[in-house]
Chains A and B, each alone.
Chain A
Amino acid sequence: NAGVTQTPKFQVLKTGQSMTLQCAQDMNHNSMYWYRQDPGMGLRLIYYSASEGTTDKGEVPNGYNVSRLNKREFSLRLESAAPSQTSVYFCASSDGDREAPLHFGNGTRLTVT
């Protein structure tokens, strides 16, 4: 089992460029999440999808869009990257039950210059 797979692992963008971060899980989980982690800020929720076909904004959605392509895949798109979006991005999935833990991918380290 691969668990949660994120691609790419590293990315450097110039201001204004666009890109899509890919995430796939093979655990048949209903819920998927995108977080960003900045030094001293902890993990902050960008968007989440409680089930296939639904997406909702989290704490910091501005500048991002998401697509829940199917039950396995949940992508995060930056339409016009800004230096403030330099961060480590984590995708996660869970069963959605209250006791279900989040399973995290290995992260994408994004730098916007």
Chain B
Amino acid sequence: QKEVEQNSGPLSVPEGAIASLNCTYSDRGSQSFFWYRQYSGKSPELIMFIYSNGDKEDGRFTAQLNKASQYVSLLIRDSQPSDSATYLCAVSGSARQLTFGSGTQLTVLP
């Protein structure tokens, strides 16, 4: 079983809709959770990080963490075509090294 699992997609949503990206992890000792965005042919860039159970909002992005269910999600409100990218979930486990999921490809349709 992969340590960090994401639905690879592709996920398509219409412009203006809410995109929901999900991630599960296996290490119960994980403490830090990150979402990175990667455009095709480019390097990953950090969108958000979250440490505590609950929601964390930053502009159009909301990260949600449920440690009991070992689940972290990213919501993108008012999705724009420029949000079309691959979204990588990364988890810092007990070894304090980041483990990445394989990514979810998001397409926002104009």
Cα A45 to Cα B3 with chains together (Å)? 13
CB distance from A97 to the nearest CB of B (A): 10
Residues of B within 8 A of A44 (CB): 100
Number of A-B contacts (CB under 8 A): 45
Residues of A within 8 A of B45 (CB): 104
Instruction: Flag if A99 contacts B98 (CB, 8 Å).
Output: no
Which residues of B68-110 are within 8 A (CB) of A? 88, 90, 92, 96-103
Closest B residue, CB atoms, query A94: B98
Cα A110 to Cα B46 with chains together (Å)? 24
Cα A59 to Cα B51 with chains together (Å)? 23
Instruction: Flag if B100 contacts A98 (CB, 8 Å).
Output: no
Is B8 at the interface (CB under 8 A from chain A)?
yes
The majority secondary structure among interface residues of chain A is loop
What string of 1s and 0s marks CB contacts (under 8 Å) between B1-43 and chain A?
0001000100000000000000000000001101010000011
Cα A45 to Cα B90 with chains together (Å)? 12
Cα A90 to Cα B100 with chains together (Å)? 13
Interface residues on A, range: 10 to 19
Residues of A within 8 A of B36 (CB): 102
Instruction: Flag if A43 contacts B88 (CB, 8 Å).
Output: yes
Which of A42, A45, A98 has the largest count of B CB atoms less than 10 A from its CB? Answer: A42
Query: What is A's interface to B at a CB cutoff of 8 Å?
Result: 35, 40-45, 48, 58-59, 90, 98-99, 101-102, 104-107
Beyond the given pairs A40-B102, A43-B44, A102-B36, 8 more chain A to chain B contacts, judged by CB atoms under 8 angstroms and listed by A's residue number, are A42-B88, A98-B32, A102-B46, A104-B43, A105-B43, A106-B42, A106-B43, A107-B43
